[in-house]
A and B are shown apart, each in its own frame.
Chain A
Amino acid sequence: MTQSTLRRNLEGYLFLAPFLVPFCFFFVYPILEGVYVSFSNTNIATGESAFVGLHNYQALAQDLVFWHSLRNTMIFVIENVPVLILGGLLLALLLNQHFPGRGAVRSIFIAPYLITGSAIAIIWEAVLDPQAGLLNQYLAMLGLSPQAWLGAAATAMPAIVLVTLWWRVGFPLLVLLAGLQDIPQELYESAWLDGAGAFETFRFITLPRLMPVLAFVTIIRFIDSFKVFAQVYLITGGGPYGSTRVLLQYLYETGFQYYKAGYAAAIGWILFLIIMVVTVFQLRFLRSND
């Protein structure tokens, strides 16, 4: 770029500055700093920070807690994404029907999405309490024995998935509902005239028309699920005995409770790479099926 071009475009850059300067300060710089920190032994307790090359990444490869946390994260993603998408789709299909009080019912289903993680934790700890919890009381009414939902490794993660479904289903519901309302009614009318039933219209009209929205929601939910933290940290704390500790919690513990910021940054970059690879793979898969 010549000096005269730069001068000519100066105004443009100045107009961009109110966005560009904070963007560089608060996004670009921290990202670059994060890359450096992941190659250092930065410790927030001692204040030391020396370049250690790939040491953090090599150590991660042998860190059993890291692999265990990654495994728990993958289990959560695999259990949570389909449940959320199917739950959201089912609710969207139901709430797309005409019935009295539809607006209020829609609001009720979407409302939990607006609640903070800490409030969700309080609500669900009460629901899942082994001694006085609502869920166990319902089980007792059915003659079933009470369960320590959050206290047993076998049920803790499914319980977190259930909490997440209740909390986060509002997003897929909202987006899929908008997608459903975008499908021209004439298509359905024409299909009905041709004798198509409910399943055929869903299979050959709704689903194909909804596919771009479904793809978007799936990718967003994948990314969101990999970043699971609040509900796990606040409800189980990663327990019992580490069975629900997810990668982001291990990152938090490593960085802020064990003070190893360099090691935590390396975990963060691994998580970023995993999310990026999965997202790229999903996008390619969806485009190839377009």
Chain B
Amino acid sequence: MATRDPDFVVRTRRRFLGGALIAGTAAVIQACSRTTTVAPTSAPAAAGSSSAQTPVSQRSSSAAETQSLDFTTFYTGPDGANMQQIVNKFDSDHPNIHVKFSSPAWGGDYVTKLQTAAIAGNPPDLVALHNYEIPGLSRFIYDISADVKAVGINPSDFLKAAWDLAFYQGKQYGVTMSTGTMALIYNKALFEKANLDPEKPPKTKDDFIAAGRAITKASDQQWGFVRDANWMPWLTFLWQDGGQLLTEDQKKAAFNDAAGKEALQLSANFVQADKISPPTAINPTDFYKGKIGMVFFGPWELAKLIDTNDKAGTKFGWSTYPKFFAKKSAVESTSHIYCLMKPKPENQAKKEASLTFLKWVVTQGSSQWTSSQIPSYNQVRDGMKDSKNPVTKQMGPWIEQAPMSIVPPAIIQWNQFFTTIKEGVESAIYKNTPPNQALATAADKVNGILAG
């Protein structure tokens, strides 16, 4: 057996290690390098988004190639299926752009995912946001004030109140696809059992409480009304009673006034005095189990409600939000704003493709979205009453309430603000804290949060 020359072994090992080090270093450099070789471009003629202004070295691919866009939203359930169909339609009409639609999470976790992706320089190209989520992400989102004009999105074609929701500190961060107020959802079968007219859902505070009392059987865990902790009815009560969450300059709490206290007393009474709500928090989606008389849901639940009625034989009904206070016609609403996020490095061709999709989806695409929300595009919204879509046809209460919609304020501290007022409201409802005391404590905390 041949023996190895020790020097040879050492030399070979050193050579191997040296080679491995060089190869490793090269791999790291290659991985860290984001500049790609650029093919000749022929960018779409979208004025105001001139590809000539972007250094050639920053363009990662040719606009003539198929652009693949990541469109990330919080749409789950029927909304997700609906948007997937809308995206499929866009894809089939636009061979040069492929949109990958996804809904990875909802609520705070959704924003966290976007934020971490943006910090890493690899966010989705397009995202759906609520108006109050824009401030926290604004540095990662394109200001598209000039771009929307350039691609021909005309502000006058949209509901102004909805259009304005995409603005933050004077910059336009997106285009509002739709809004959707909360509405009264009720179980007609429980109404019948309680000798209430199932075709006459409550329209006033007194009717609502009376219906709740008639339906409630606490010993059987059957409740007249169950509130959603994340869509606090207190907000709508506050606004209907003429109150506000914040002062006009958005620097101080304003909910700690007579309207706020009256609204909170009403919320607490549902549990403590009227006893139409459970003494502990219950998930409002338990409504589908058939032992809850009334809840407030947004239009995103309508498709599921209709489907459950059709398949399970339930008798769920929907109606406008009762008028608990007479000072203002107001109902809490959601807002879905589509924004373009900035990758690192910025990619002009993708931005142009994203604008093409944005324009299409908020105008043409929104015609199918009518079964999920109330589009802000006038032409589509105005045509909803004549729609043959079985879900859209049932959207009457939400269409009627669209002008009353009020959304939370777009402030960077919204999440902390919301957590604080939510805990204050719940302490009054479930821990018998006097409403004035609960709101005073919450207001103190909120003022501290707003002061930074």
Contacts and interface: CB of A to CB of B under 8 A. Distances in A.
Interface in A160-178: none
17 contacts: A11-B13, A14-B21, A44-B119, A45-B135, A47-B139, A129-B286, A131-B291, A148-B278, A148-B280, A152-B279, A153-B431, A241-B426, A253-B415, A256-B108, A256-B111, A258-B415, A259-B136
Interface string B86-112: 000000000000000000000010011
Contact of B281 (A46, A151, A253, A256): A151
Given A11-B13, A132-B289, A240 B115 contact: no
Contacts of A87: none
A117 to B, nearest CB: 13
Interface in A38-62: 44-47
B214 interface: no
A249 B423 CA distance: 15
Contacts of A129: 283, 286
A181 interface: no
Interface in A109-154: 129-132, 146, 148, 150-153
B282 A148 contact: yes
A257 B119 contact: no
Contacts of B17: 11, 14-15
A47 B112 CA distance: 15
Interface in A231-270: 239-242, 253, 256-259
Nearest to A260: B416
B76 interface: no
A148 B112 contact: no
B226 to A, nearest CB: 10
Contacts of A131: 221, 282, 286, 289, 291
Nearest to B230: A237
Contact of B14 (A11, A45, A257): A11
Contacts of A47: 139
A151 to B, nearest CB: 3
Interface of A: 11, 14-15, 17, 44-47, 129-132, 146, 148, 150-153, 239-242, 253, 256-259
Interface string B17-48: 10001000000000000000000000000000
B229 interface: yes
A116 B123 CA distance: 26
A151 B221 CA distance: 14
Contact of B426 (A146, A240, A258): A240
A146 B21 CA distance: 66
Contact of B115 (A14, A15, A44): A44
User: Which are the 3 A-B pairs with shortest beta-carbon distances?
Assistant: A151-B280, A148-B280, A151-B281
A17 B22 CA distance: 13
Provide the main secondary structure of the chain B interface: helix
A259 B282 CA distance: 30
A146 B221 contact: yes
Interface of B: 13-14, 17, 21, 108, 111-112, 115-116, 119, 135-139, 221, 229, 278-283, 286, 289, 291, 412-413, 415-416, 419, 423, 426-427, 430-431
A257 B426 contact: no
A241 B139 contact: no
A135 to B, nearest CB: 13
Contact of A148 (B135, B281, B427): B281
B252 to A, nearest CB: 19
B115 A130 contact: no
A46 B416 contact: no
A130 B135 contact: no
Nearest to B412: A45
A242 B289 contact: no
Given A14-B21, A45-B139, A241 B427 contact: yes
Contacts of B289: 131-132
A73 B281 CA distance: 22
Given A146-B221, A151-B280, A239 B416 contact: no
Contacts of B278: 130, 148, 151
A241 B415 contact: no
Nearest to A11: B17
Contact of A239 (B112, B115, B282, B426): B426
Contacts of A253: 108, 415-416, 419
A240 B412 contact: no
Nearest to B21: A14
A30 to B, nearest CB: 14
Nearest to A148: B280
A201 to B, nearest CB: 47
Nearest to A136: B221
A129 B17 CA distance: 60
Contacts of B280: 130, 148, 151-152, 240
B423 A241 contact: yes
Contact of A241 (B111, B412, B431): B431
A239 B139 CA distance: 31
A257 B111 contact: yes
A14 B431 CA distance: 63
Given A44-B119, A256-B108, A240 B136 contact: no
Contacts of A241: 423, 426-427, 430-431
Contacts of A44: 115, 119
Contacts of B412: 45-46, 259
Contact of A257 (B286, B415, B430): B415
Contacts of B115: 44-45, 256, 259
Nearest to A64: B445
A239 B232 CA distance: 15
B281 A257 contact: no
Contacts of A146: 221
Contacts of B423: 241-242
Nearest to A145: B219
Given A14-B21, A240-B281, A242-B423, 16 more contacts: A17-B21, A44-B115, A45-B136, A130-B278, A130-B280, A130-B282, A131-B282, A131-B286, A148-B279, A148-B282, A152-B279, A152-B280, A239-B281, A256-B108, A258-B415, A259-B136
A241 B428 CA distance: 10
Given A45-B137, A239-B229, A241-B430, A257 B282 contact: no
A213 to B, nearest CB: 38
B430 A240 contact: yes
